[in-house]
Amino acid sequence: MKLFAGLSAFSITPADTAGHVDTGALARLLERISAAGADSIGLLGSTGGYAFLSRHERQRAVEAAMECVGGKIPVIVGVGALRTDEAQALARGARKAGADGLLLAPMSYTPLTEEEVFQHISAVAEAGELPLCIYNNPSTTRFTFTDDLIVRLARVPNIAAVKMPLPAQGDFKGELQRLRSRTPAGFAVGYSGDWGAADALLAGCDAWYSVIAGLLPSEAIALTQAAQAGNTSETERLDRAFQPMWGLFKEFGSFRVMYAIADVLGLCHAAPPRPILPLPSADMPRVKDALDRIAAAAA
């Protein structure tokens, strides 16, 4: 459970127009996360653009990450792929490179059944031989995990956590109670969807799988620690400062906005992989304004 707890910071994966990963730029981003004191790094998640990279480039990214921060901070590697055998190969490669855990979303072209998802994730968990987090990401995969499927998978060896989308009507406490009452002790329940992080953390979730922490780790850590300490007023103050950024995430998608943030901060100058287009230049001042508001709150 410790691996899938606290703040997990998800980095972008800088690459050129041909999809070749800039391992030097990636290492600098990961070193920044590690130095800030995040609880883990999420590598090659949705923010990391795993679906746009070849297996070879994904392996290069994992090896570069482990060479850079391995042993300093836990690294959780996304191993999603359309084919089960491909996901198994990615899981084995991540383990060989020294990854600490795996993250798996059920990618598909043909809509999947619950039994297909169960068998797919179980097979990858067995092949990877590392603690695995189920990635329930219906906005991307168009597959929504039922409680029954999560409970069934939670009993499979190596499956240790689930990364959930924000619940309907924001009922974090109800969902956490429901899942925890039916899953084994130690099975971790965390959330993505940065604009709901404050409420999720205050409700007692195990982990915040954070997009913004990939580029603003210190600021995200401050929000996480305030919520974990039960400091509601400070949590709400920091979350208010993030609101313009959450608005940009909702409007444009966090994937596009993260590349814009990296550019504004001068952290790297990579563009999102085509066909994804960069944020329109007319909206870049809004990104800078949102960053300024976060920085002012952290000062």
Count CB atoms within 10 A of the CB of residue 58. Answer: 26
Site of tokens 């899953």: 183
| 145: nearest Cα among 131, 157, 128, 133 | 133
Q: Which of 135, 191, 209, 259 is catalytic?
A: 135
Contact status, residue 105 vs residue 137, Cβ threshold 8 Å: yes
Q: What is the DSSP letter of 270?
A: P
Q: Which of 163, 191, 209, 259 is catalytic?
A: 163
E strand or H helix at 202: helix 197-202
Query: Catalytic site residue 163?
Result: yes
Query: Catalytic site residue 135?
Result: yes
Buried b (16+ CB within 10 A) or exposed e, 121-148: bbbbbebbebbbbbbbbeeebebebeee
Please give the positions annotated as active site: 135, 163
